[in-house]
Amino acid sequence: MLNPADAAFAASLAARLPEGTLAPAGPRDLDEPRGRGVTPAALLARPRSVEEVVRIVRACAAARVGIVPRGGGTGLVLGQVMPEGQAPLILSLDRMAACRGLWPEEGLMIAEAGMTLAAAQAAAEAAGLLLPLSLASEGSAQLGGVLATNAGGTAVLRYGTARALCLGVEAVLADGSVFNGLKRLRKDNTGYDLSGLLVGSEGTLGILTAAVLRLHPRPAARATTMLVVADPGAALALLRLVQDRTGGAAATFELIGGQGLRFLDEVMPEVRQPFAARPDWSVLIELGLPPGLEAEPVLAGIYAAAEDAGLVSDAIMATTGAQREALWALREMIPVANRRIGAVASHDISLPLSEIAAFLPRAQAAVRSIYPFRINVFGHLGDGNLHYNIFPPAGEDRAGHAGRAEAVTRAVHDLVHDHGGSVSAEHGIGRLKAGELVRYADPAKLMAMRAIKQALDPQGILNPGAVLAV
């Protein structure tokens, strides 16, 4: 059993830290974006250095007080809130936001965990390089949280997830020891990949304090287009065509279901849409082109080949920066419209690409056998990650269907598992999906995860209840 971060503990810890490091947690430190959970009144620590993090963790270990790491608070699976249990210490690294070094010739940067993703992108851009990880929340999402959840975003197709963009991390472990994995090495086979283990562990194995990030050359030009396709099968054939014609230059390949466009008409009519008749299926593609290739002829060639193959029926090409931004604004407003409509159940899933066309009609039939719900499918088709969200029929409120949400999620997740997919693609497990992990994970994997947790955090003080509920 853990103990609360009460007044006596706060007084004892405050004596070991600079003035102003501790404070009562405010509302912004206690909630999460969808309002699904709130941490009860808790103690907030905002250290300025690794040494201060060490002192905090050692004090919590000695007193058996739980620690909930807090980044930008943008996670969607309750990893940053602890609604149940003894009041924890919330550990925010927002004061540790420095760039410790940038080596353009190596394509590397060492940045602290409290730096926002947008600030890290800006630092890379100032050096003429690209940090390709991009999220809608990049202005507030912090690197520590991005790495702890192994975030994906829109460019995974070409550059990989956060783990693929990280060479190593620095982390404070549960006993207060510091793991220094900040080596600027592309090859290092000296034992287990502990940095790779800590990335994606959601703060349950260590507190990430800094990381070595891979940077990439900036594309000479971007080519952005939105194309109408007959169905997801045609979209996947188009993906193969695009990759073959561009040598893997596609950074983004987003599937957009027509229901999402109709939701925009319903609740955000001010959002400009490129097609007068809302297509049932479309894709948003962005290529990063090398010097010597121009966007318009490349996109025109793709459209001509795709039209000849019967894969597309209409398209709009972004020929200016403003047009590109308008297409991306359309994509980024779909989740906003979803929130205004109010989902009965939301699912962050991934599937093998060749399984998607078969999965979607099966899932639709399963969901609508429960109730004639509206289904909005969109997401990162290029890497198999779909957001499969369920909404009440027009004129009905989601509150009236709360009793059906569990059955809907079980139907969707069972089918995902049946098709060899994952019930958590890019948002992590947190506390929201801890039960789903037990239900669907390989037993040997679950056993190994529990053994690792026990070895690195035997008291269970690091993000209690996240990922592994017991």
Residue 392 scores a pLDDT above 80: yes
DSSP secondary structure code for residue 406 in this structure: H
- What span, in angstroms and rounded, lies between the C-alpha atoms of 31 and 35? 7
Integer Cα distance of 465 and 460 in angstroms: 9
Report the pLDDT averaged over residues 6-22. Answer: 97
Indicate the pLDDT class of residue 469, thresholds 50, 70 and 90.
Answer: confident
Q: What is the mean pLDDT of residues 307-327?
A: 96
Closest-CA residue to 182 (of 100, 125, 105)? 100
Rounded Cα gap, residues 399 and 393, in angstroms: 12
CA 455, distance to chain mean position in Å, is 27
Q: How confident is the model at residue 76 (pLDDT cuts 50, 70, 90)?
A: confident
98, pLDDT greater than 90: yes
Q: Confidence class of residue 470 from pLDDT cuts 50, 70 and 90? A: low
Q: How far apart are CA 433 and CA 342, in angstroms?
A: 20
Backbone phi, psi, residue 288, to 5°: -105, 110
Please write the tens of the pLDDT for every residue from 242-261: 999 999 999 999 999 999 99
State residue 203's pLDDT score: 97
Alpha helices in 20-165 (DSSP H): 50-63, 117-126, 143-148, 156-159
